[in-house]
A and B are shown apart, each in its own frame.
Chain A
Amino acid sequence: MFRNRADFIFWGALAAVLLAGLAFTRIITNEYYYTAAYAILQATVMALAWNILGGFTGYVNFGSAGFFGIGAYTSIALGKAFGQTLGLPVMIAAAALICGLIGLSLGYLTLRLKGVYFSIATLAMAIVFETLMNNWSYAGGARGAYILTPDSHLWFNSYIQMLFMLMLLLTLGSITVSRALNASRLGRGLAAIRDDEVAAECAGVPTLKLKLISATLMGAMMGVAGAPYPYFVTFVDPASAFSLFVAVNAIAMPMIGGTAHWIGPVIGALLVGTVQQVITVTVSSELNVLFVGIMLVVFISLAPQGIVGLVQKVRARRAR
């Protein structure tokens, strides 16, 4: 863990962010900041998760909303079955388990389908999940489900502050996992698969095992991002939980930030997410979709390596 100086800097930075978050909750009282921050952090976790299968391994998932939505509905279903007695950590763990299993099956799917066909299949999977939830009246069906805010919010001033700190913890955790994956032997194997799967297989990389790990991790992380969502938004229906907007954000943010490095999704999510929050407050939320659509098209056409790629190019040029 503390192998070298880079590790020290990393852990130091994480600790600093965590402390800053705590300080934030003591100082800032306007709840809207926490609402906006939660949304940005949630997008960050989704982006990091997507990048594990998409950026590191090269399998583009268009059905991110499927995992997110199942994570949200896991919370809703558990809430209906057990009331508020379970608590968020249990729901998050359950969502991680269920969505991790779905991710595992997605990993097996890569055996049959490659490239574009895989991506289309992920989209189909998300819609099938949405239709299933639309027909599951126990969890509300098409009319949606309501979550009344629980009374307890630990030592924080308000419930949204607690959700914010929770999501901050989850984000820092996702960053740790992502960084560990990137730098490890596992990560190099994934990169080999991304560059040329057949060659990697020939070179002895256990491609199936790595793909399964990658897909399971992605699924679990997305489920974790979705689990607290019903408590954040208090009303969930399948159309909003499985919204294609979640999927496009999950793809656009890593692509804008840069898919090769673990910090790319973080940069992309912070940048795009913040702009989206500003637009929502000042103009409207439809404009967000236009913004992310345009950014996606622009970056993927002109700067497919993302911001990280651009920075690396500039550095390389300077080094000459």
Chain B
Amino acid sequence: MLSVDLLSNALVAGVLIGGFYAAVSIGLAITFGQLDIVNIAHPAFVVVGSYIAWILNSRLGWDPVLVGILAAPVFYFVGVLIYRVYYLAFERTGQESLSGLAFFFGVMFIVEVSLVLVYGVDYRLVSAAYLEKNFNLGFVGLPLRLVVPFLVASVMTAAVWLYLSRTFTGRAILAVAQDRLALQLMGADPVRVKQFAFGLAIATTSVAGSLLIMIGPVEPSLGRAYIGRAFAIVVLGGMGSIPGMVIAALLIGVVESFVSTFAGPSWAPAVSFGVLLLTLAVRPSGLFGRS
């Protein structure tokens, strides 16, 4: 049953969803890849973004992408707040990494369960006129519910990357993980830079969340499926490398799509975690990472 039809559709769907995965992972690429903060609660924030999109879409009829962009500043401030707590509790005392991981583990549960307590476990969807439309390029289907998130994700990823590589603050973020002292000597306050970076990372979850709920229905525990994906993508891409992360995201999207189509969807969760384990065991610095 290895038809060209099935193969090309699996490939295209994989690329489209891989682009979306990049949007989910870029925040983690910043916090984990560059700042070494193990924010395992990152996907939980994405789900919160989905819920905000659902609420405003179902009550006021606003377009979900618009909601994602408008809510981003709020998410930014939440991110800054969380970083402050994290800094005061851990970084200042030098107890990072493991305690930080446990801290964010707790935050993840708090976020997820709060959603369950307030909104229940039912699936939520958004509705927008373009979401039901499909285009067909020959035998390849291009449903807008995948194409639009792919386009928005690409724009956001490109924008963040340009910012990080071209502006002073952006490059300060890249620098702060590598050499704190040098950064201080250059006149930037490492704490403020990290705070800004963390806020930026959480702001991206607002957009990623609205894209997530456009692709399919969302319920509170959906974030757990993305923990493996996001970490696998960041680690595979290489810590600190945004282009590497994008390539890793596309790769994982395509592999998952192929496994789903040909081996069966029940094996899909193992793909990202399996890739993660493999990368950690064989080449922990990833494809493009700094060693």
Contacts and interface: CB of A to CB of B under 8 A. Distances in A.
B284 A117 contact: yes
A115 B280 contact: no
Contacts of B98: 58, 60, 115-116, 119
B270 interface: yes
B281 A297 contact: no
A290 B109 contact: yes
Interface stretch (B15-23, B110-118, B141-149): B110-118
Contacts of B85: 301
Interface in A121-175: 121, 123-125, 127-128, 130-132, 134-135, 142
A300 B273 contact: no
A297 B113 contact: no
A120 B274 CA distance: 12
A304 B266 contact: no
B228 interface: yes
B110 A251 contact: no
Given A123-B227, A244-B224, A255-B102, A293 B107 contact: yes
Most B Cβ at <10 Å: residue of A112, A116, A255, A289: A116
Nearest to A119: B101
B97 interface: yes
A292 B109 contact: yes
A112 B109 contact: no
Contact of B97 (A113, A115, A130, A255): A115
Interface in A275-311: 286-287, 289-290, 292-297, 300-302, 304
Interface residues of A, number: 42
Interface string A17-55: 000000000000000000000000000000000000000
B105 interface: yes
B38 interface: yes
Given A124-B228, A293-B107, A116 B89 contact: no
Contacts, number: 119
A289 B280 contact: no
Contacts of A290: 109-110, 113-114, 117
B269 to A, nearest CB: 5
Interface residues of B, number: 39
B89 A301 contact: yes
Nearest to B268: A131
Nearest to B105: A248
Interface in A246-265: 248, 251-252, 255
A131 B269 contact: yes
Contacts of A58: 98
A304 B113 contact: no
Interface string B274-288: 101100110010000
Given A113-B284, A115-B97, A117-B284, A301 B103 contact: yes
Nearest to B221: A244
